[in-house]
Amino acid sequence: MQQLIECVPNFSEGVDLKLIKEITDQIEMVSGVRLLNVDPGKATNRTVVTFVGTPEAVVEAAFSAIKKAGELIDMQNHKGEHPRMGATDVCPLIPIANISMEETAAWAKKLAEKVGTELQLPIYLYEAAQEKKERNNLSVIRAGEYEGFFKKIKEPEWKPDFGPAEFDAKRGATVIGARDFLVAYNVNLNTTSTRRANAIAFDVREAGRKIKNEKGEEVVQPGSLKCVKAIGWFIEEYGIAQISINLTNINVTPVHIAFDEVCKKANERGIRVTGSELVGLIPLKSILDAGKYFLKKQKRSLGISEKELIKIAVKSLGLDELNPFNPNEKIIEYMLQDKADSKLISMQLNDFADETASESPAPGGGSIAAYMGALGASLATMVANLSSHKKGWDNRWEEFSNWAERGENCKNELLKFVDLDTKAFNQIMNAMSLPKTTDKEKLDRKNAIQAATKFAIEVPFKVMQTTFNSLEVIKAMAQLGNPNSVSDAGVGALCARSAVMGAFLNVRINAAGYDDKNFVDEIIAKGKEIESKTISLENEILKIVNEKIGC
């Protein structure tokens, strides 16, 4: 399992796109990393770059980008709305896959030491990479900003963790660390007042504001949201004030909760939120959760497609107010996905049929079985959604929404198997084409064929399991759903039965070529049981359907 780290360096240049590209070119030259997003801001005069890759490659790319930024950016001439202290202001590493925070912090320290030593740049560690609690907060480290650091760096308690204790007038200083996934998020206001924007920011941010108690003592009044940092500023580019928010733990305070709370606090001060914008990337789950949150407030079914959930989230949060919101460029999973993994399900229906009918052996019966299962689950989901919104059934919307979500989950899983079954077939073909001249080559080829064959057994078996699970939704919709759509539930049952039986044919034909007979006997026995239960359930569903149709 490959380890993946995300890196999100912030460079103090947001206007000169040619200069920015010279920096990002350094990142793209490194093998093993993928540049995901470049987000320049004119008013902040700052660009947030996002790339991902293996730890070694990320460190190499980050080093090259920091070096180039130091050569091109002169902090003596820098002006911008965002707090900053260096040409590369901050460079966090974030664990993405198969790597712990501790390991990520170790890589951050390696990068910091390399930059400090080889580039002779003052470097401060923060968050998980910083052992001293009193200086692990970015805002505390950056306090005083570029202009104040000439004096600050001479103070013993602010000696850099790496590099010289001399402030570099041209390059400034850089903060490097390891942190959890952070969402940078701005909320737009119908005011130009920075003071009022700041007041709202203080209302919501965890750090709150300083006030005097009844004794005249200065105390901190916490804000209403945990794991939230926020300030107010005026964006000349848009002619509005914004609340600039960092969501440091989106499991504690997700985007939609932050948005609604800012709306509430703004309204209390006579100000209206007009929309918002994301800086950099966001996890898919955050957007989907937002879509579901707003649908639930409307008492609408949550069992709709991923595409529709994203659309609801974007419109509800106003993410497209200032600039178009392109999910393929803003959602991290979409940026990382390989289009080859969804080649078949991305086709138009006629192209998919033509591809199936062609002389190519794939897609074959396994992919078609998975697609039939997806269609069966889709029909059940449709009935659930229609029932959730049926006039006079308003008090049952949540019941049918839950069924719709279950059906939607089954559908999404089965769609993945459409391409995965073809991939399994191709893996067998690739294994069989391996050289077989020497004894070692013959053994390696045999092992590869066996591994690919096992995979080709497991994929259609999972199609059987997922499709069987969808039958519970189909039956419930035949029994409880909108009676005008009962025939759709019946067709869904027919699709599901065909999908299970078709997938089982693929399990059996691939099992014939697998040497582990214990595995084969066990999976065939399980397959027969699923097939038998499926046929029985189909008969029950069709009986319900036929009785309701009545003729």
> Where in the sequence numbering do the catalytic residues fall?
82, 421
Contact between 279 and 235 (Cβ < 8 Å): no
Please give the full DSSP string across 385-447, using - where no structure is assigned. HHHHT-TT-GGGHHHHHHHHHHHHHHHHHHHHHHHHHHHHHHHHHHHHTS--SSHHHHHHHHH
Alpha helices in 15-83 (DSSP H): 17-28, 55-72
Q: How many CA atoms lie within 13 A of 390 on its CB side?
A: 21
- Dist CA 226 CA 229 (whole Å): 9
- Dist CA 507 CA 183 (whole Å): 44
Number of residues assigned to the chain: 551
Contact between 96 and 149 (Cβ < 8 Å): no
Residue with tokens 């300030």: 231
- Angle (CA) 465-468-471 rounded to 5° is 155
Cα→Cα distances 82→42, 201, 243, 244, 480, Å: 11, 15, 12, 9, 56
- Dist CA 398 CA 396 (whole Å): 6
Q: How many CA atoms lie within 13 A of 529 on its CB side?
A: 7
Alpha helices in 119-238 (DSSP H): 138-142, 145-152, 194-204
